[in-house]
């Protein structure tokens, strides 16, 4: 009898060990999908966020690219076929998506303190923590040109982008109304502080489109961040709107001789959200907390010069990188996009923009 009992206990112990091993393997084999903007930006996230997170937790990170917007996220949530766990979105989409119930709420109290001991709430820059999203960086929309092609006759201000007489040739612009409409008004003499007030009126919208009309015949539309450096390198355009970090990357890694016009810069925060209905919510939340902590955000600036959302991270940025960071340290006009305004007006202006392009 005693022998049989011992054998049973031994069998149960072996089974328990096997189950425990299987559970442990399953935990480490778990994967999450992070969707971002591709190119140099995603590469920087893989290096300082994805790979270190996997090393720390055993959770694999699968990376996908997209060109922004909420359409695909809406479709996934609506059908219940959620494939993306975490998405890097711009602030306007973070606010709209939260209102629409597309994202999980994130408890700000769960965010780690800054490495300098500062409370997370105080460590993040103003507006960088919302009900459903935690910011990682801010980038700037600016004008770029090839110094090798323009030489001494180089643009110095946003108005030059709209001056076809002084600077003949094609212009690259992203195929969407935001930034383009703000730039059109600034180039037409509207002060940065008044841009959204003017754009809130029918007359102001008409004024912006009329200014865009002056260069419409010379516009080459782009949709992905990798395209503007390619357009400049090929000579297809003489100037292009661009995410400023793409120019830094092209110069550093591809040996280009591109330059930026900081006048007119419009900065945009990027934030991480967890998609509603994700099957890996806990791991996704853990990733967001890890990725938006002090060191990953500071380390990211070594790969691409986007301004980190935490003050404690800014303290760690190399002095050689700081001149490339967007914001008030750069000369000329500029402001942060009014994400709340765009969240309210995007549908209307996207329709107007589509009609204008089709004319």
291-337: per-residue pLDDT in tens?
999 999 999 999 999 999 999 999 999 999 999 999 888 999 999 99
- Same domain for 274 and 256, yes or no, is no
Query: What is the mean pLDDT of the segment spanning 22-28?
Result: 37
Cα(123)–Cα(117) distance, integer angstroms = 9
pLDDT of residue 75: 98
Q: What percent of the chain has pLDDT over 70?
A: 92
C-alpha torsion angle, residues 80, 103, 119, 304 (rounded to 10): 90
pLDDT of residue 15: 38
Residue 5 lies inside a defined structural domain of this protein: no
Residue 278 lies inside a defined structural domain of this protein: yes
- Same domain for 217 and 253, yes or no, is yes
C-alpha torsion angle, residues 343, 345, 350, 353 (rounded to 10): -140
In three-state secondary structure terms, 64 is: strand
- Same domain for 38 and 185, yes or no, is no
Position 189 pLDDT exceeds 80? yes
**Number of domains into which the chain is organized:** 2
Residue 1 lies inside a defined structural domain of this protein: no
Cα(97)–Cα(53) distance, integer angstroms = 26
- Listing DSSP states for 251-283 in one string gives HHHH---EEEEEEEEEEEEEEEEEBTT-TTHHH
Residue 119 lies inside a defined structural domain of this protein: yes
Position 5 pLDDT exceeds 70? no
Q: How confident is the model at residue 151 (pLDDT cuts 50, 70, 90)?
A: confident
Residue 163 lies inside a defined structural domain of this protein: yes
Please report the beta strands in the chain, taking only residues with DSSP state E, as ranges in sequence order.
31-36, 60-65, 86-90, 133-146, 171-174, 219-222, 239-243, 258-274, 307-308, 334-336
Rounded mean pLDDT of the chain?
Answer: 91
Lowest-pLDDT range of 2-16, 92-106, 145-159, 213-227: 2-16
- Quick check: 161 and 237 in contact, CB under 8 A? no
pLDDT of residue 22: 34
- Same domain for 216 and 342, yes or no, is yes
- Same domain for 88 and 229, yes or no, is no
Query: What is the mean pLDDT of the segment spanning 17-21?
Result: 38
Position 179 pLDDT exceeds 90? yes
CATH number of the CATH domain containing 64: 3.40.190.10
Residue 3 lies inside a defined structural domain of this protein: no
Position 359 pLDDT exceeds 80? yes
- Same domain for 207 and 343, yes or no, is yes
- Same domain for 63 and 131, yes or no, is yes
Q: What percent of the chain has pLDDT over 90?
A: 86
- Same domain for 241 and 280, yes or no, is no
In three-state secondary structure terms, 292 is: coil
Residue 106 lies inside a defined structural domain of this protein: yes
Q: How confident is the model at residue 182 (pLDDT cuts 50, 70, 90)?
A: very high
- Same domain for 127 and 150, yes or no, is no
Residue 102 lies inside a defined structural domain of this protein: yes
Range of the domain at 76: 10-138+270-322
pLDDT of residue 328: 87
Position 87 pLDDT exceeds 70? yes
Cα(130)–Cα(267) distance, integer angstroms = 17
- Same domain for 132 and 146, yes or no, is no
- Same domain for 276 and 304, yes or no, is yes
Q: How confident is the model at residue 153 (pLDDT cuts 50, 70, 90)?
A: confident
- Same domain for 231 and 204, yes or no, is yes
């Amino acid at each position: 009898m005693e022998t049989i009992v011992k054998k049973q206990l031994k069998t149960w112990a072996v089974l328990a060990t096997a189950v425990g091993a299987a559970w442990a393997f399953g935990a480490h084999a778990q994967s999450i999908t992070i969707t971002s903007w591709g190119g140099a930006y995603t590469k920087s996230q893989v290096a300082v966020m994805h790979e270190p997170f996997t090393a720390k937790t055993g959770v694999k990170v699968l990376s996908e690219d997209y060109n922004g917007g909420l359409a695909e996220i809406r479709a996934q949530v609506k059908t219940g076929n959620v494939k993306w766990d975490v998405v890097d979105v711009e602030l306007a989409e973070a606010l709209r998506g939260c209102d629409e119930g597309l994202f999980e709420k994130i408890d700000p109290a769960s965010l780690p303190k800054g490495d300098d001991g500062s409370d997370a709430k105080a460590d993040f820059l103003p507006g960088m923590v919302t009900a459903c999203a935690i910011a990682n960086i801010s980038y700037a929309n600016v004008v770029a040109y090839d110094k090798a092609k323009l030489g001494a006759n180089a643009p110095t201000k946003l108005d030059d982008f709209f001056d076809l007489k002084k600077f003949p040739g094609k212009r690259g612009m992203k195929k969407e109304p935001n930034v383009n409409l703000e730039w059109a008004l600034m180039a037409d003499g509207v002060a940065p502080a008044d841009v959204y007030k003017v754009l809130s009126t029918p007359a102001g919208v008409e004024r912006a489109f009329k200014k865009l009309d002056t260069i419409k015949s010379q516009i080459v539309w782009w949709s992905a961040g990798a395209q503007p450096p390619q357009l400049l390198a090929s000579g297809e355009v003489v100037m292009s709107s661009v995410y400023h970090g793409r120019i830094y990357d092209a110069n550093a890694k591809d040996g280009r001789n591109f330059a930026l016009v900081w006048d007119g810069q419009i900065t945009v925060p990027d934030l991480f959200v967890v998609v509603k209905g994700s099957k890996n919510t806990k791991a996704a939340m853990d990733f967001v907390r890890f990725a938006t902590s002090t060191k990953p955000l500071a380390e990211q600036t070594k790969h691409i010069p986007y301004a980190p959302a935490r003050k404690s991270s800014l303290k760690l940025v190399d002095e050689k990188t700081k001149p490339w960071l967007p914001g008030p340290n750069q000369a000329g006009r500029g402001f942060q996009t009014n994400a709340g305004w765009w969240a309210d007006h995007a549908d209307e202006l996207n329709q107007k923009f589509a009609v204008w392009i089709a004319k």
